[in-house]
């Protein structure tokens, strides 16, 4: 395969660094995909590939050699880079010669359609990228309709979000509201019953009612759910804490709640 060779000074290489370090605007929600596994995921999901960087010297799997041509055919532009350049932009110990800038899908709140027993999760103010990615992986697993972000503190294009989501970020619809009030209104318009994950004045999550459409709200690792979510008469549900700690990891508690809701909706 013949591709234009570029070096570390090329604007495309700099762009990768900007995306990784979040040092430039990223209006097309580009993220960095590295390695065979991530590229198989891009191809399978049909994700738009903006730029493909190919370093044949670093490829160690036969499948990666074959895949390189497919990726180049799909990418808007493709370049060949040296091992030295690859090492500059890779975040892996052993980069495998395939690296792309790809775009996250964009979802619009107005385009989503819900069924009678839809299930959505609202993540309010989540701070740790790994938690957000793990949460998206759980949303995919339990067949939730979408993730709603309010008071967003971490970007979806963060490498740790992508990695922890195990690629499910390409398929789970994610929508964001800049104002919590707009999320509240949107959920009401779609007739969701909103449940706040909160230990104060809460009912045991096994006793909650998950009929109809359910929106579960979880809050930030440090501060919990923002105050804009209170005062609407929403029920609070708690996963009982029986030990010395006072909380669960947020992606764990969200997943326990999500699966409880899914099981009850499905009568498992």
Instruction: Report, in Å, the least distance between residue 109 CB and a second copy.
Output: 21
Instruction: Report, in Å, the least distance between residue 245 CB and a second copy.
Output: 5
Instruction: Report, in Å, the least distance between residue 54 CB and a second copy.
Output: 26
Instruction: Report, in Å, the least distance between residue 259 CB and a second copy.
Output: 5
| Cβ-based nearer residue to a second copy, 189 or 222 | 222
| Cβ-based nearer residue to a second copy, 138 or 180 | 138
Instruction: Return the structure tokens found at 176.
Output: 């964001």
Instruction: Report, in Å, the least distance between residue 45 CB and a second copy.
Output: 8
| Cβ-based nearer residue to a second copy, 6 or 256 | 256
| Cβ-based nearer residue to a second copy, 16 or 145 | 145
| Cβ-based nearer residue to a second copy, 172 or 184 | 172
The count of C-alpha atoms lying within 13 angstroms of the C-alpha of 231, restricted to the half-sphere facing its C-beta, is: 6
Instruction: Report, in Å, the least distance between residue 70 CB and a second copy.
Output: 20
| Cβ-based nearer residue to a second copy, 114 or 259 | 259
Separation CA 87–CA 13 (nearest Å) = 11
| Contact positions vs a second copy (CB under 8 A) | 45, 130, 134, 137-143, 164, 166-168, 171-172, 204, 206-207, 239-245, 247-249, 251-252, 255-256, 259, 262-263, 268
């Amino acid at each position: 395969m013949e591709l234009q060779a570029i070096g570390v000074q090329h604007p495309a290489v700099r762009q990768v660094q900007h995306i990784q370090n979040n040092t430039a605007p990223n209006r097309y929600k580009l993220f960095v995909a590295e390695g065979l596994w991530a590229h198989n995921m891009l191809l399978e999901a049909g994700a738009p590939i903006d730029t493909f960087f190919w370093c044949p010297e670093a490829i160690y799997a036969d499948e990666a050699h074959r895949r390189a041509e497919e990726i180049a055919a799909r990418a808007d532009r493709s370049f060949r880079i040296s091992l030295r350049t690859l090492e500059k932009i890779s975040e892996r110990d052993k980069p495998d010669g395939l690296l792309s800038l790809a775009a996250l899908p964009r979802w619009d709140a107005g385009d989503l359609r819900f069924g009678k027993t839809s299930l959505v999760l609202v993540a309010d103010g989540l701070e740790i990228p790994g938690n957000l990615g793990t949460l998206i992986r759980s949303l995919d697993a339990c067949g939730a309709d979408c993730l709603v972000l309010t008071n967003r503190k971490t970007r979806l294009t963060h490498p740790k979000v992508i990695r922890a989501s195990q690629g499910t970020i390409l398929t789970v619809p994610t929508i964001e509201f800049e104002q919590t009030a707009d999320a509240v209104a949107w959920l009401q318009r779609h007739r969701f019953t909103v449940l706040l994950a909160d230990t104060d004045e809460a009912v045991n999550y096994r006793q909650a009612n998950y009929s109809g459409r359910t929106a579960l709200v979880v809050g930030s690792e440090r501060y919990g759910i923002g105050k804009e979510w209170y005062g609407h008469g929403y029920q609070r549900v708690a996963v009982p804490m029986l030990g010395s700690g006072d909380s669960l990891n947020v992606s764990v508690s969200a997943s326990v709640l999500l699966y409880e809701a899914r099981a009850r909706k499905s009568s498992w």
